Structure formats: C-alpha cells, structure tokens
Amino acid sequence: MTDHAPIPLRELRSDCSRCAGLCCVAHAFQRSSDFAYDKPAGTPCRNLQDDFRCGIHADLRTSGFTGCTVYECFGAGQFVTQQLFDGRTWRDDPAIAADMFAVFGTMRGLHELLWYLTEALALRAAAPLHDEIARLRIEVADVRDAGAGPDAQALVGELLGRVSALARDGLRGRQARGTDLTGANLRRADLHGADLRGALLIGADLRSADLRRADLLGADLRGARLDGADLADALFLTPPQVASARGDRTTRLPAGLDAPAHW
Ligand code: SF4
C-alpha cells in the first residue's frame, strides 16, 4: 500500500488545461435536449478544437449542449492524461486511444469515490470513522494509481452510509432514500438531516427548503428549483448535481462548491 498524501480537492475537479479532451471524445452522446447531435464513443466531438478546448464553451447552453455544462470528471481527465499516459494524447499516438478512453471511464468512477471520501474526512461528526475513511481512501487511490483494480464502490458506499448516520444522528430527518419525488412541491420543506440518498428529485420545487445535513448522495436533482434553499452543509453533494439543478445567488451551497455560471 502506498503512503499517500491527502489528495487536494482541486485535483478532484476537472482541469481541462491538463487534459486531452477525454470527455469530449471517449463518451457516446445521443441527440437529445442535452446534446445536439449523435456522437459515437471514441470519436471527437465536432466542437473540440486542436488545443483540446471546446470551441463553443461560452455558448454551450444556447447551442443545444446543456449536458456538457453539467458534466464533471472529478479530475480523472487530467490524471489519465498526465499521470497514466505521461502527457501523451490520443491525437499524438492513435495507438493508445482505445486504452486511454477505456481507463478514463474507470478513473472517473474512482475519482468520484475519492471526492466523497475526502468530504467524509472533513466531517467532524464522522471523527470516530476517520481512521477507517483514511485507510479506504488510500486503498482507492492505490487502485487508481495502478490504473485498474477491484470494485471499490460497495466498500465506499457502506462506509459512507455509516458516515451519514453519524452526521445526521439526532436530527430525526425525513427518510426518503430512493423515493420518487419527481416534481414534488417541497417548497420551504423541513428536510434538515433527511435521508435523500438516491432520491429522484427531478423538477422538484425545493425553493427555500432546509436541506442542511441532508444526505444527497446520488440524488437526481435535474431541473430541481433550489432558489433560497439551504444546502450549506448538505452531505455528498457534487458539482454535477448542483449544475443540473436551478438555483440563484440566495442558494446556500457547501464550502468548496460554487454556483454554476448559468444560475
Ligand atoms: S460541445 Fe464542447 S464540451 Fe461538449 S463534448 Fe463537444 S467539445 Fe466537449
């Protein structure tokens, strides 16, 4: 097991300046409200420039590429490009393209797990579990550094469940894990300490809702209204979840998460 220094949170956010445009090539997209045309996996998006930047970055939403504005690789793009492939790119060396794209998907999943574990380590309420969290984070980082490895998702999910229970202990929050709350009217709802893990909150009205300490791991917030909502210490909220929802400058977000440009 490698003795890892903690991975800074900035390394778990996408840095396109150090990536070979992997998300714009590796993934397949279907023409939909999120993407303007059909693109097979492994082919560069027609908007990807020679410098691996997006040629319509400032106009993605008005050009029919809304899905790109809610995508987050959790830093997997720069890790694969710089660490696993030493700065080589699929353009310079087409022979590495298939391997690069395949490992990118795996790394994205592992980086998302590292994001959650890093958040869990910062939670004071989870202090009794900090040693266990730190050990698992090193194990996941080892799997990542090796470029592949056993499925760590189940281990992380189980541990995050215990972290969540500790962080929400005594709050008697609503139990709505996995519940379909699509379009629900939850305006001003008291969801303090609620278990909303995996809940479908697509298009839900959560304006001015109290979501402090709510567990939002994997909750689907696409199109949910968050104006005035308090998510200041919501648990396991990620950048793509925030970007897929609708909020405004009165929405309170956890430290380290910025309001998206389109709010
Ligand atoms: S539209 Fe831009 S951000 Fe989206 S896949 Fe194409 S190049 Fe990438």
Helix, strand, or coil (residue 176): coil
C-alpha of 53 from chain center: 21
157-197 pLDDT per residue, tens: 999 999 999 999 988 889 999 999 999 999 999 999 999 99
Burial of 128 (0-12, 13-18, 19+ CB in 10 A): exposed
With CA atoms as reference, report the closest residue to 225 among 200, 251, 257, 199.
251
Do 232 and 260 have their domain in common? yes
Distance CA 32, CA 20 (A): 25
Degrees, nearest 5: CA angle 207-117-164 = 55
At 248, the pLDDT band (50, 70, 90 cuts) reads very high
pLDDT of residue 1: 45
pLDDT at residue 6 greater than cutoff 80: no
CA quadruple 92, 98, 103, 108: dihedral sign: positive
Is residue 4 situated within a structural domain?
Answer: no
Number of domains composing the chain: 2
Q: Which amino acid is at 163?
A: V
Do 252 and 156 have their domain in common? no
Do 78 and 150 have their domain in common? yes
114-137 pLDDT per residue, tens: 999 999 999 999 999 999 999 999
Do 107 and 183 have their domain in common? no
Give the distance (Å) from ligand 1 centre to CA of residue 59.
Answer: 11
Give the distance (Å) from ligand 1 centre to CA of residue 101.
Answer: 16
With CA atoms as reference, report the closest residue to 214 among 252, 262, 184, 263.
252
pTM: 0.91
At 2, the pLDDT band (50, 70, 90 cuts) reads very low
Is residue 142 situated within a structural domain?
Answer: yes
Among residues 108, 132, 167, the one where a domain terminates is: 167
Do 70 and 135 have their domain in common? yes
| Pocket-testing residue among 24, 71, 72, ligand 1, by greatest number of atoms within 8 A of Cβ | 24
The pLDDT of 217-236, averaged and rounded, is 97
Do 179 and 232 have their domain in common? yes
* Residue 71 structure tokens: 């995508």
The pLDDT of 99-110, averaged and rounded, is 94
Is residue 105 situated within a structural domain?
Answer: yes
Q: Which amino acid is at 131?
A: D
Do 19 and 128 have their domain in common? yes
Do 91 and 148 have their domain in common? yes
With CA atoms as reference, report the closest residue to 171 among 188, 190, 192.
192
Element (H, E) at 129: none
Share of the chain above pLDDT 70, in %: 96
pLDDT of residue 149: 59
Atom in ligand 1 nearest the alpha carbon of residue 21: 8
Residues spanned by the domain of 123: 9-167
DSSP, residue by residue, 163-199: HHHHHTTTS---B-TT-B-TT-B-TT-B-TT-B-TT-
Which residues' Cβ are closer than 6 Å to ligand 1?
24, 45, 47-48, 54, 56, 65, 68
Do 181 and 156 have their domain in common? no
Is residue 3 situated within a structural domain?
Answer: no
Is residue 218 situated within a structural domain?
Answer: yes
13-54 pLDDT per residue, tens: 999 999 999 999 999 999 999 999 999 999 999 999 999 999
Give the distance (Å) from ligand 1 centre to CA of residue 87.
Answer: 21
Atom in ligand 1 nearest the alpha carbon of residue 48: 7
Give the distance (Å) from ligand 1 centre to CA of residue 183.
Answer: 29
| Pocket-testing residue among 29, 39, 43, 65, ligand 1, by greatest number of atoms within 8 A of Cβ | 65
